[in-house]
Amino acid sequence: MTVFLPPPAAGLPPLGGAGEAEPAGQAMSAKPRSSFRRGLEVFVENRLAVAGLVIAVVMLVFCFIGPLVYHGNTTVVNFTNETLPPGAGHPLGTDANGNDVLARLMTSGRISLEVGIAAAVLATFLGTMWGSIAGYIGGALDAVMMRIVDAVLSIPVLFLALVVVALVTPTEPVLIMVIAVTSWLSTARLVRGESLSLRVREYVQAMRVMGGGSTRAVVRHIAPNAVGTIMVNLTFQVADAIALIVALSYLGLGIRPPQEDWGAMLSNGITYVSNGYWWLIVPPGVCIILIITAVMWMGEGLRDAVEVRLQRR
């Protein structure tokens, strides 16, 4: 036993990882806090980001658990109940088909959120694969892959989606595919840039010198370091995907009735603007603006958190 080591505490095995054996409080101050924790602290300090997270969670609960608690007529056409103002029995009134607006808001929101989140996840996955392969392999393959990205990026997503949706009937899975296939490109560009810059970082080179292979470089160093950037991008993709279905629905090429998303609800409601049926316009409008704002705030908070992690490293 060397003199530098503290004497083993009674009842504990000697030399057995001094940090872990200490009480939790002391261990915290001795060990450097993980970069994840530091990022989390920055995120939590950002009031807008936390507000965004809360709004998003409330929206998810409202759309997915809400229908279990609140039952309203969402499918049966009932003209005796058409366009009733908010009141007893119908907290947000009824629409032109006599359906309950609050219940409709929940089921439509489910479609908006499902399509938005699924499309964003799929697009991020596609873009990450494409970008990391291009960036890591480099050379001619990289050049060709990125020119393809440039080419598709130069066609506006809305235009491309309009053509594809005109080709095939837009069901929910089709919409998810269409949005994913037309919006993975910015992620690909971002991830390629990230993997190019990470590939030449000192710690990756050091690992290379020590005999590590490509797989280890990608799995242990490049992927974990790019995860932050990818997550931030995913968040913004969700906001853009929700906005895109709203736009498609307004143009009449969104999901087919009787299913609808918030965008379709809003654009149907707007046709009654001159009748003064505000309860058909305000609820879906507020929901769309709220969810996109919330997701943007979350994305900005995440971005700051990731940047702080990178700076302090």
Residues contributing to the site for other proteins (CB under 8 A): 147-148, 150-160, 162-164, 166-167, 239, 243, 246-247, 250-253, 263, 266-267, 270, 273, 285, 288-290, 292-293, 296-297
Pick between residue 111 and residue 296 the one whose CB is nearest to other proteins.
296
Number of CB atoms found within 10 A of residue 250's CB: 15
Closest CB 59 distance from other proteins, rounded Å:
13
Name which of 148 and 223 has its Cβ closer to other proteins.
148
Q: Which is nearer to other proteins, 60 or 270 (CB)?
A: 270
Which CB, 129 or 153, lies closer to other proteins? Answer: 153
- CA–CA dist 87, 29 (Å, integer): 58
Cβ nearer to other proteins, comparing 113 with 204: 113
Least spacing, CB of residue 294 vs other proteins, in Å: 9
- CB of residue 189 to other proteins, shortest distance in Å: 10
To other proteins, the closest distance from the beta carbon of 166 in angstroms equals: 5
Q: Compute CA distances 85 → 9, 77, 98, 222, 234, whole Å.
A: 74, 17, 11, 56, 39
For residue 306, the minimal CB distance to other proteins (Å) is: 15
Q: Tell me how far apart the alpha carbons of residues 8 and 2 are, in angstroms, rounded to a whole number.
A: 12
> Could you say which DSSP state residue 87 is in?
B
DSSP classification of residue 33: P
Cα–Cα distance for residue pair 128/285, rounded to 1 Å: 33
Mention every residue, 6+ apart, whose C-beta is less than 8 A from residue 4. none
